[in-house]
């Protein structure tokens, strides 16, 4: 009994994927007459299931990249300096330039 428990736990996700294929992707309604055609249908259904997972991952990564790009551009934008301080900086710079020319 203790030996069967880890094997059972290993099979749970696999059985779940077969159930998802049967009820979500019509894996139980294959009407092929030849065995090799049935295998091709089954393989194509599992290929589509895997491609849909990859599409979901790609969309999540694209959204994450867009959020990071938005955050970086927001952080790299120059902040506005109040008008009085801007005038002070420009007059100090002009005085420095006039003294060293």
* pLDDT, mean of each 10-residue run, the chain (101 residues): 82 82 80 89 90 94 91 70 54 56 55
Residue 28's pLDDT is what?
Answer: 80
Would you say 48 and 25 are in contact if contact means Cβ atoms under 8 Å apart? Answer: yes
Q: What is the pTM of this model?
A: 0.57
Q: What is the pLDDT of residue 79?
A: 61
Q: Which one, of 57, 16, 55, 11, lies nearest residue 27 by Cα?
A: 16
The token pair at 63 is 């959204």
86 Cβ contact list (under 8 Å, min separation 6): none
| Domain definitions of the chain by residue range | 31-99
> How many CA atoms within 13 Å lie on the side-chain side of 67?
6
DSSP 37-88: HHHHHHHHHHHHHHHHHHHHHHHHHHHHHHHHHHHHHHHHSPPPPPHHHHHH
């Amino acid at each position: 009994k203790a030996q069967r428990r880890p094997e059972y736990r290993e099979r749970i996700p696999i059985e779940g994927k077969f159930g998802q294929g049967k009820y979500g992707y019509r894996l139980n309604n294959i009407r092929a007459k030849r065995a090799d055609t049935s295998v091709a249908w089954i393989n194509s259904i599992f290929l589509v299931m895997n491609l849909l997972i990859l599409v979901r991952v790609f969309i999540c990564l694209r959204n994450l990249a867009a959020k990071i790009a938005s955050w970086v551009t927001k952080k790299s934008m120059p902040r506005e300096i109040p008008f009085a301080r801007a005038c002070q900086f420009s007059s100090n710079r002009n005085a420095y330039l006039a003294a060293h020319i």
